[in-house]
Structure 1
């Protein structure tokens, strides 16, 4: 199997780098300054073992790859870029006949729950992944994955449900590449649970670290309470916090890093890189959508979404908004 990793940022770069180091066939897909840096110098990959330049083949897009029947497409872009990526890859021919959408497995190694829905419109074989992989991508060509003894936990299953031999083969390759990769028949239960956890990332992107007892922690808890109420009203089952904690326990723990580089969550990183957009329409926004469908008010998530999008559009630094100001704004909401 060859892994075509579409989006070689924190998650995609870590998955692709580890698979390459375990002698799997990998192509990283990246554009712009990041793609140029990867082609010129390789992936500067920092883990608890040290920093090294990982020379992985790089493509700028589907036009640079001749697809084979044994390819696996790993989608690791932010959700706001998913529709474009799917459209560009689905119709690409595969050697021996057919297109990528008709014959190749597509693995959504992404946050949120919208990616799989979008993918199933264009790809017959879609797999969801609940990504528990603390990693950072702050400058072109460099990715840091800060945990051990495993780089991360990647819970894998067919979408909308089920398992198969392809999922098990992919999981075996990941398990051989410093990941824990359980295969489950109900992967979306885990993805909805992770989605609840992602709500705190919007708060930290706006306000900085979410420390116990702080105004930021109050905001994050209120956002999560809304999300929990929405899922209950929608009748959506999700894994509980104990199940997620069990996946990480003894497997994904912060380690001292050789370069001392630390970063917060992926939304914080998007603001720090000046990416121009953030993923909140599909994180907090998922709960707005469900809340509107099922009559559950979500003023906290709506406010956080609006402020985060404005911060990205205006190029504001992460942590530039005081949590107390957001709480005051919420008190004024009718």
Structure 2
């Protein structure tokens, strides 16, 4: 199996780098300065044990690569970029006949829960991946991953449900590459739980590290609101005890030489000044479900709106005082229902 990593940022770069270092065939797909750095100098993957410079082939567009039977497409872009990826890769020919959307498995190694649904409109063989992989990508050609002794936990399963031989083979390859990769028949239950954890991404992005009484209290309020909305919608998600049993002590977060960990994926989007952020598909998922099921989500709705404004205006991450955000939430909570 050859792994085509579409989006070689923090998650995609760490997965692709670890697979390549373990002897698996990998191609990285990236854009702009990141692609140029990968093409010219390889991927520099830094982990707690040291730094690896990996000469992984890299391309910047689908047309630069000939697809073949046995390829696995791993989509690791942010959700706001998913539609463009699907459009550009679905119709690509596969050697021997057929197209990517007909013949090849597509793995959604992404946060949020919308990607698989979007992918299934185009691709026959879609797999969800619940990603727990603390990593950073802020400079072209460089990715740092902080987990040890395992780099991350990647639950894999067919979408919308089930398992098969392909999922088992992907899992086996990942487990030779410093990951724990359980094959599960209910991967979306794990991804909805991860969605709840990712609701804090916007909070961290706009106000900074989630510590101190005010931010921790707001974090708990954000997640509790998310759970209440999922419950109202009748959506199942894994609980903390089940997650702890899987994670155990398999991953510890350690320092990586020469790299400050910084924040999560939304914080990194603001730090890189990309102009976009995942808030519509994280906090915005809770906002949508609340509206569909006749309940309210003022905390997540406000975080969605504020995070989008930060990205659009290219404001520095962590620059909003907590009292200002709390005031915006309280004003939204008191606003009359106009439905």
TM-score, length of structure 2 as denominator length: 0.97
**In 2, Cα distance between the equivalents of 1:98 and 1:313?**
40
Question: In the alignment, is residue 310 of structure 1 matched against residue 303 of structure 2?
Answer: no
Could you say which residue in structure 2 is the equivalent of 1:102? Answer: 102
Could you say which residue in structure 2 is the equivalent of 1:296? Answer: 295
Structure 1 residue 51, shift from structure 2 partner: 1.2
Task: Look up the SS of the partner of 2:138 in the other structure.
Answer: strand
Deviations 1:211-248 (A, max 9, x none): 1x521122211111111111111100100012222232
Could you say which residue in structure 2 is the equivalent of 1:273? Answer: 272
**In 1, Cα distance between the equivalents of 2:258 and 2:330?**
43
**In 1, Cα distance between the equivalents of 2:259 and 2:105?**
37
Deviations 1:29-53 (A, max 9, x none): 0011110111111111100111121
**In 2, Cα distance between the equivalents of 1:260 and 1:94?**
40
Q: Once structures 1 and 2 are overlaid, which stretch shifts more, 217-226 or 318-327?
A: 217-226
Question: In the alignment, is residue 15 of structure 1 matched against residue 18 of structure 2?
Answer: no
Correspondence 1:236-255 to 2 at 5 A? 236-255=235-254
Could you say which residue in structure 1 is the equivalent of 2:329? Answer: 330
Could you say which residue in structure 2 is the equivalent of 1:49? Answer: 49
Task: Look up the SS of the partner of 1:196 in the other structure.
Answer: helix
Kindly tell me the number of residue pairs found equivalent between the two proteins. 333
Could you say which residue in structure 1 is the equivalent of 2:121? Answer: 121
**RMSD across aligned C-alpha pairs, in angstroms?**
0.9
Structure 1 residue 8, shift from structure 2 partner: 0.1
**In 2, Cα distance between the equivalents of 1:100 and 1:299?**
41
Correspondence 1:136-215 to 2 at 5 A? 136-211=136-211, 213-215=212-214
**In 2, Cα distance between the equivalents of 1:27 and 1:11?**
14
Task: Look up the SS of the partner of 1:223 in the other structure.
Answer: helix
Could you say which residue in structure 2 is the equivalent of 1:64? Answer: 64
Shift >4 Å, 4+ stretches: none
**In 2, Cα distance between the equivalents of 1:141 and 1:260?**
14
Deviations 1:134-185 (A, max 9, x none): 0000111100001111000000000000000000000000000000000000
The 8 Å contact of residues 127 and 159 in structure 2, kept in 1 or not, is answered as yes
Structure 1 residue 260, shift from structure 2 partner: 4.2
Structure 1 residue 96, shift from structure 2 partner: 0.6
Gaps of 5+ in 1: none
The 8 Å contact of residues 219 and 323 in structure 1, kept in 2 or not, is answered as no
Structure 1 residue 252, shift from structure 2 partner: 1.6
